[in-house]
Chain A
Amino acid sequence: MNLNFPFTAIVGQDEMKSALIMSAIDPTIGGVLIFGSRGTGKSTAVRALAALLPPITAIKNCPVNSSEATQTPNWANLKVKRKTKIPTPVVDLPLGVTEDRVTGALDIEKALTKGEKAFQPGLLAKANRGFLYIDEINLLEDHIVDLLLDVAQSGENLVEREGLSVRHAARFVLIGSGNPEEGELRPQLLDRFGLAVDVGNPQDVAQRIEVIRRRDGFDQNPQAFSEEWQKQESNLRGAIVRAQHLIHRLQVPDQTLEDIATLCAALGSDGLRGELTLLRAARAYAAWDNKASDVTRNHVMAVAPMALQHRLRRDPLDETSGRLRVHRVMEQVFASSK
């Protein structure tokens, strides 16, 4: 098997890393969009995350990785329903993928040879309870992107085609990455993602040297390099698991809710989606913080840029980055209320 570059060995790119960690802690945040030029470790980070995540309990051979025997879909025809540990699914969605392959379709082989109408699950089934990763999302065909976002939103894949009528759970964290220089993502898709981060190459030479040194060390001997980082990896994994438990015990004071509402209103972000995401992200961040018992303004401020920057009403020709605008508004809003 191909070894992945360890997540903890990625130099810098803290915002991207924490966005990914947040979404691993609380999948309902709604996915991460990573935009940046090539060579910034986008794909590396996502693939590394897969190796990092704790295993989940699922019914053996269940096509949608159900956690309980009662949830396995009928069409799977599972005789034995035994629980087992499987790695968190991380499914790669290749660019040239067809709609059949994504949603699942009539099993042609069975239809032709046995005259049976059977459902062959697609990638959405495979990604249930895990992550779905699309590299170069801005090059993916529009109708597939639409379909994915619909499913990601509803948590359910509904197949009505070729005489089939099948529905199954499809709850996954959507992670998209792309390079804006090669074409932008349609604006209506942007705010469907929970978090958005921009990544760039480190400008600091010492940091760049470290990037190359580590990557080179990995390329030369992946095995040894991974072992070297084993400890950091398991520490991080432990921290994520702790945060996943902790998150349910956190209080959200009214003051924090008010902060969130004020901030979103001041930024004029569309709809309630921004507020909800900001709340969830702040909560995940507080859980990650480990010492906090409440979700505070500091937590909100830490995640606001990545939760809101892609939701602002945007003049396509205005070049100020969303990030900057969020920061500015945050300063204004919170300076006056203090």
Chain B
Amino acid sequence: MPLPNEQPDATRHACSLLLHGADNLLGMIIKARHGPSLARFLEELNHLRPDRTVVSASAADDVFFGGIDVSATLHAGHVVTQEGVLARASLMVVTSAQLLDAQKAARLVIFLQGMDKAPPIILIDESADDEENIPDILERYCAFRTLLTEQHLLALKIQKPWRPQLIENDRCLPVSQEQLVLATTIPIQFGLDDPRWGLFLLHAARCQASLRGADDVKLDDFEEVASLIIANRANKLPEEQDTAKPEVEDSEPSADSKPQQQEDLSPQDILVDAIKSAMPEIMLANLQQQNMQQSNGKSGRGPAKTGNRRGAPRPPRQANGHKDRGIHLGKTLANAAPWQRSRRAAGITRPHEGPIILPDDLALRRYAQESDRLVIFGVDASGSSAMARLAEVKGAVEQLLGQAYIHRDHVALVSFRGQDADLLLPATRSLVQTKKKLAGMLGGGGTPLATGMAACRQEALRARRQGLTALVVLLTDGRANVARDGSANRDQAKEDASAMARQFRAEGISSMVVDTGRRASTDLKELASMMAGRYQILPNARADQLSQMVGDALRPRSIA
């Protein structure tokens, strides 16, 4: 049974709504891997709106926002600016949108918000699962989020071409008090706290109603659009028992407004069901599990990666093509100066008196940049690490966190116990989040040391791709007893851990092992030397020594 929201139709439906009511719906995110489904959708979109502009997220800033056209400026002798695509586009499609960093995303949103009539924007999120995310600020700018998967190739073949009627939307349809309440409360039930989602829901329902040519907004309209906004974003599932009305029944129980739905399902329930049935299975399962554990609404993601464009100025360098950085005027003129006579002699002319500057002369400003640093804590939460020790370990990590905070380092948190390892917190600079995660960390079970190391390694490699300097701090008592395949085989477990350690060394991942056992373990010492990392035993280590060590380990910047 195909899930409604995974069908290409959800995406197309959302897109029709967006094009219909762009002023209020602003944008949509399509999560799709590169493939035939996406290709077909883009082709159809092209057909529908040949005026659309497609830009890759990795394009330079001035492609988006405009800037100085250097070669034209040099030729004309006065500053020639060029508009960015945002200013010109009537419909923006951004591919590989997961590559946008928080800064660029924020710029994008602020730019769009400042426009008189911002173009609708379609962001294609081509990330593999949870590897990278669209920055939060963009996520919240866009009304819809849909999935486009490759599971329906056959369906794709037989599917009718998408040719929605695009009509001008200039009517403002009224909504009832009941619908207003619905729009407000439904997103909250799914753990979406921002009032924006409620607004989007209202706008989308209006669009839906006007698309079908109606004069009033019905519950059906909400049902049609709710999943497009909420299903792929939900943070939790509504609690089963009290989907009943919240305490705002004061206005009027509405004598006339619910004639159709007689079968004692409240509008709330109908919408909740519609959204739930549109959720991807995995997501639904995860959320259900989370609900069982505790209905603690988790906070949003926060991948805080700031760009590396700061630091003290360095000597300028010859420019190759123009980039986002500033031009170093002095050096440029100095480059051009010796050639002036020969250039004039060679008959190169300019409409002005000034020096003749050719693109080759341009020098760019450069900045010395220190890579941001990432400390990945791999915390052994197994039973052998024991409850009491776990508290101590948490204490040590907290101390290190304080240190990281002062140095403005990023931190990530991996815990391993039982049979697997969890990335509790992807790289972030938010101390609050880290603390929350750390406090909620559970203990008990076997020690899958190699699995934990693998998770840390993955995080380190990802950080490296993002240009961060990473350090893995492994806190464990070293009694590996669960192998990578999950079996409780002590020898195999040890062998796996050694293999992992060699991999760390081969890939040049900086590391450090903190022995949390009561006595120093020779195994761990060996492991540390295999990883080419430092070794420290916790009981002897004062917190300040530990952070000193972390600092030392990061300083050499052996990788980068």
Judge whether B430 and A212 touch: CB under 8 Å: no
- Distance in angstroms between the alpha carbons of A201 and B357 in the assembled complex: 56
Listed stretches B103-111, B260-268, B385-393; interface member: B103-111
Judge whether A39 and B107 touch: CB under 8 Å: no
Given A39-B193, A135-B106, A181-B302, do A216 and B432 touch, yes or no (CB 8 Å)?
no
A147 CB to closest chain B CB (Å) equals 11
Judge whether A181 and B299 touch: CB under 8 Å: yes
A39 CB to closest chain B CB (Å) equals 3
In-complex Cβ contact of B352 among A96, A113, A136, A162 (8 A): A113
* B300 on interface, CB distance cutoff 8 Å: yes
Chain B residues near A180 (CB-CB < 8 A): 430, 432
Given A184-B429, A215-B199, do A37 and B193 touch, yes or no (CB 8 Å)?
yes
Chain A residues near B194 (CB-CB < 8 A): 37-39, 201
In-complex Cβ contact of A115 among B113, B181, B353 (8 A): B353
* B41 on interface, CB distance cutoff 8 Å: no
Judge whether A113 and B24 touch: CB under 8 Å: no
* A141 on interface, CB distance cutoff 8 Å: yes
Chain A residues near B250 (CB-CB < 8 A): 206
Chain B residues near A317 (CB-CB < 8 A): 398, 401-402, 431, 435
* A337 on interface, CB distance cutoff 8 Å: no
In-complex Cβ contact of B114 among A92, A114, A186, A205 (8 A): A92
* B426 on interface, CB distance cutoff 8 Å: no
Judge whether A106 and B299 touch: CB under 8 Å: no
Near B by CB (< 8 A), chain A positions 168-183 give 179-183
Judge whether A94 and B430 touch: CB under 8 Å: no
Given A39-B196, A212-B202, A215-B199, do A162 and B330 touch, yes or no (CB 8 Å)?
yes
In-complex Cβ contact of B137 among A38, A109, A215 (8 A): A38
Judge whether A316 and B198 touch: CB under 8 Å: no
Mark contacts of B104-144 with chain A using CB atoms, 8 A cut-off: 1 yes-contact digit, 0 otherwise: 10110011011010000000000000000000110010000
Near B by CB (< 8 A), chain A positions 1-38 give 1-2, 37-38
* B326 on interface, CB distance cutoff 8 Å: yes
B64 CB to closest chain A CB (Å) equals 10
Given A39-B193, A96-B61, A113-B353, do A184 and B431 touch, yes or no (CB 8 Å)?
yes
* B433 on interface, CB distance cutoff 8 Å: yes
- Distance in angstroms between the alpha carbons of A218 and B106 in the assembled complex: 24
- Distance in angstroms between the alpha carbons of A111 and B172 in the assembled complex: 54
Judge whether B180 and A2 touch: CB under 8 Å: no
Near A by CB (< 8 A), chain B positions 421-456 give 428-433, 435
* B195 on interface, CB distance cutoff 8 Å: yes
Judge whether B137 and A208 touch: CB under 8 Å: no
Residue of A nearest to B439 (CB): A319
Judge whether B107 and A186 touch: CB under 8 Å: no
Chain A residues near B355 (CB-CB < 8 A): 112
Judge whether A109 and B79 touch: CB under 8 Å: yes
Judge whether B300 and A181 touch: CB under 8 Å: yes
- Distance in angstroms between the alpha carbons of A314 and B528 in the assembled complex: 36
- Distance in angstroms between the alpha carbons of A95 and B246 in the assembled complex: 40
Judge whether A215 and B195 touch: CB under 8 Å: yes
* A143 on interface, CB distance cutoff 8 Å: yes
- Distance in angstroms between the alpha carbons of A216 and B195 in the assembled complex: 11
Q: Interface size bucket, B side? A: 35 or more
- Distance in angstroms between the alpha carbons of A114 and B353 in the assembled complex: 7
Judge whether A216 and B199 touch: CB under 8 Å: yes
* B248 on interface, CB distance cutoff 8 Å: yes
Given A100-B326, A205-B248, do A212 and B299 touch, yes or no (CB 8 Å)?
no
* B162 on interface, CB distance cutoff 8 Å: no
Judge whether A213 and B352 touch: CB under 8 Å: no
Mark contacts of B472-483 with chain A using CB atoms, 8 A cut-off: 1 yes-contact digit, 0 otherwise: 000000000000
Residue of A nearest to B367 (CB): A143
Chain B residues near A96 (CB-CB < 8 A): 61, 65, 103-104, 107, 324
Given A209-B248, A221-B172, do A182 and B107 touch, yes or no (CB 8 Å)?
no
Listed stretches B12-20, B222-230, B305-313; interface member: B305-313
- Distance in angstroms between the alpha carbons of A87 and B107 in the assembled complex: 25
Residue of A nearest to B68 (CB): A108
* B98 on interface, CB distance cutoff 8 Å: no
Residue of B nearest to A142 (CB): B310
- Distance in angstroms between the alpha carbons of A142 and B224 in the assembled complex: 46
In-complex Cβ contact of A182 among B116, B199, B304 (8 A): B304
Residue of A nearest to B328 (CB): A162
- Distance in angstroms between the alpha carbons of A211 and B188 in the assembled complex: 14
Given A182-B302, A183-B304, A212-B184, do A219 and B203 touch, yes or no (CB 8 Å)?
yes
* A98 on interface, CB distance cutoff 8 Å: yes
* B280 on interface, CB distance cutoff 8 Å: no
Given A92-B114, A96-B107, A108-B329, do A209 and B401 touch, yes or no (CB 8 Å)?
no
- What number of A residues sit within 8 Å (CB to CB) of B? 52
Chain A residues near B113 (CB-CB < 8 A): 43
Judge whether B202 and A216 touch: CB under 8 Å: yes
- Distance in angstroms between the alpha carbons of A100 and B327 in the assembled complex: 11
Chain A residues near B116 (CB-CB < 8 A): 1-2
Given A38-B136, A219-B24, do A113 and B354 touch, yes or no (CB 8 Å)?
yes
Chain B residues near A1 (CB-CB < 8 A): 116
Residue of B nearest to A141 (CB): B310
* B102 on interface, CB distance cutoff 8 Å: yes
Judge whether B429 and A209 touch: CB under 8 Å: no
Chain B residues near A208 (CB-CB < 8 A): 184, 188, 195, 198
* B185 on interface, CB distance cutoff 8 Å: yes
* B339 on interface, CB distance cutoff 8 Å: no
Judge whether A95 and B110 touch: CB under 8 Å: yes
Mark contacts of B386-422 with chain A using CB atoms, 8 A cut-off: 1 yes-contact digit, 0 otherwise: 0000000000001001100110100000000000000
A329 CB to closest chain B CB (Å) equals 23
Chain A residues near B202 (CB-CB < 8 A): 212, 216
- Distance in angstroms between the alpha carbons of A2 and B199 in the assembled complex: 19
In-complex Cβ contact of A95 among B79, B106, B299 (8 A): B106
* A220 on interface, CB distance cutoff 8 Å: yes
In-complex Cβ contact of B248 among A94, A111, A206, A212 (8 A): A206
* A139 on interface, CB distance cutoff 8 Å: yes
Residue of B nearest to A216 (CB): B202
- Distance in angstroms between the alpha carbons of A280 and B302 in the assembled complex: 36
Residue of B nearest to A186 (CB): B408
Chain B residues near A142 (CB-CB < 8 A): 310
Residue of A nearest to B61 (CB): A96
- Distance in angstroms between the alpha carbons of A287 and B62 in the assembled complex: 47
Chain A residues near B324 (CB-CB < 8 A): 96
- Distance in angstroms between the alpha carbons of A254 and B217 in the assembled complex: 63
Chain A residues near B106 (CB-CB < 8 A): 95, 135-136, 139
Judge whether A139 and B195 touch: CB under 8 Å: no
Judge whether B435 and A319 touch: CB under 8 Å: yes
- Distance in angstroms between the alpha carbons of A141 and B487 in the assembled complex: 48
- Distance in angstroms between the alpha carbons of A111 and B428 in the assembled complex: 44
In-complex Cβ contact of A39 among B61, B140, B183 (8 A): B140
* B78 on interface, CB distance cutoff 8 Å: yes
The 4 A-B pairs of least Cβ separation, nearest first, read A39-B194, A183-B304, A183-B429, A113-B352
In the complex, besides A96-B103, A112-B77, A179-B136, 12 extra interface pairs with C-beta distance below 8 angstroms are: A37-B300, A96-B65, A113-B352, A115-B354, A139-B106, A142-B310, A182-B302, A183-B302, A184-B430, A208-B195, A208-B198, A317-B401
Interface residues of B (CB under 8 A from A): 23-24, 61, 65, 77-79, 102-104, 106-107, 110-111, 113-114, 116, 136-137, 140, 172, 175, 180-181, 183-185, 188, 193-196, 198-199, 202-203, 246-248, 250, 299-300, 302, 304, 306-307, 309-311, 324, 326-327, 329-330, 352-355, 357, 398, 401-402, 405-406, 408, 428-433, 435
Provide a sorted-by-A list of 17 A–B residue pairs whose CB atoms are within 8 angstroms: A2-B116, A38-B136, A94-B111, A100-B326, A108-B327, A136-B102, A181-B300, A182-B302, A182-B429, A183-B430, A186-B408, A205-B188, A208-B184, A209-B248, A216-B180, A219-B24, A219-B203
Interface residues of A (CB under 8 A from B): 1-2, 37-39, 43, 92, 94-96, 98-100, 106, 108-109, 111-115, 135-136, 139, 141-143, 162, 179-184, 186, 201, 205-206, 208-209, 211-213, 215-216, 219-221, 315-317, 319
